[in-house]
Structure 1
Amino acid sequence: MADPASAVRRSALSNVRVPGDFGATPFNGPGIHLAERAPLSVVQVETGAERTGELIEATGTTLGITPSQVPNAATGTGRPRILGTGTGRWIVVEPESRDLAGILRAALPESTAVTDLSHARVCLRLSGREARTLLAKGCSIDLHPDAFRPETSRMTSLFHSAVLIDCRSAGPVYDIYVHRSYAVHLFEMLLDGALEFGCRVA
């Protein structure tokens, strides 16, 4: 039997994500840049509303950044970054380098549910001058820069897939987290929608 600890994670997009330029060739370069962020540690932490203060304090002590209690707010630079997804619930994300889930289980109050989603999520980074226009083709949230600003995250539907979108910068740059089983569908829909603007896949 293979040792689980020696298993290498295989991208859900390994058979479809081909680097290169696709679609139109605007004089000022592709309007869309699309890439997969991997490997990432993605861990959900959740507790009851009455225990959020304990969770926030313990998280800040352990990771050096504090989750925001403001709905849909994101904190941190990405090493790690914490995305608010609901009352008493956050997603902690960082480049994979340590047992993030194990560290959080050991440090957070026993009342906290810690769920490792690293193998169950794919993260696509969408950027470029037409990134906001492309997102608007597939989701109904208000994407105006005044409404969906950097340090904001949203749970929504994008091209019929449930996603968590993290606005990283006003560039605009978005990180899109999707269930692994829908990753190919979402990647292909984003690429298809980007062809009119020109799309560079990294």
Structure 2
Amino acid sequence: MRAARDLLVSYRRLPVTPWGSPNSAAIAALVRSAAASSGLLTERQLGRIAFELASAEDLWRPLVRHVPEHRWYVRLFHDRQFDVWLLGWDVAQDTSLHDHGGSSGAFCVTEGALAEHVADLGAPPRLGRHMHLPGAPYTFGAPYIHNLGNEGPGVASSIHAYSPPLSSMTYYKAEPRAFEPIVTIPVEGPEPSVPAAAASA
């Protein structure tokens, strides 16, 4: 498990502004139609959003990037109900063990494969492992702690949806008796903002 300082390095702001893309309006129309709700979304609705956008390759393919130096990600849509993210994974990139605040979520692999290590919060704490390939979405409620990563051999991409919109992420390390929180990072805009106090921890 990486130290707090190391895992925060990948959360600097990235020079990505997909709102200027011609696809922005089409993405918004697709995900709003898939949501079909005026309140917070269920896991099933989030899964439908992730799957339908993943299936619309012409919308996300021109935007995705795979950067060897750091994991690439950008928020494609945000309103009071939910938000949607596009992630690009080079080989050996992962998220580290984290939760999603109070948000439920769903993700759909669009290319490549992602390995997921999921925290079993029983005693003693354990990590289960799952492989995710393009196809059906995977959904989860809150709380949910996992590490998602690309073990290769090629790049991977994925679509993620959260309701309520992702507002914070807490990172953890596995101890013999529990998963111990390391740091909580607020999500204040298209990319997570790392407070100076957390970055110096």
**TM-score normalised over the length of structure 1:** 0.31
TM-score by length of structure 2 reads: 0.31
Higher helix content, 1 or 2? 1
Q: Greater CA radius of gyration, 1 or 2?
A: 1
Q: Which has the higher contact order (CA 8 A, sep 6+)?
A: 1
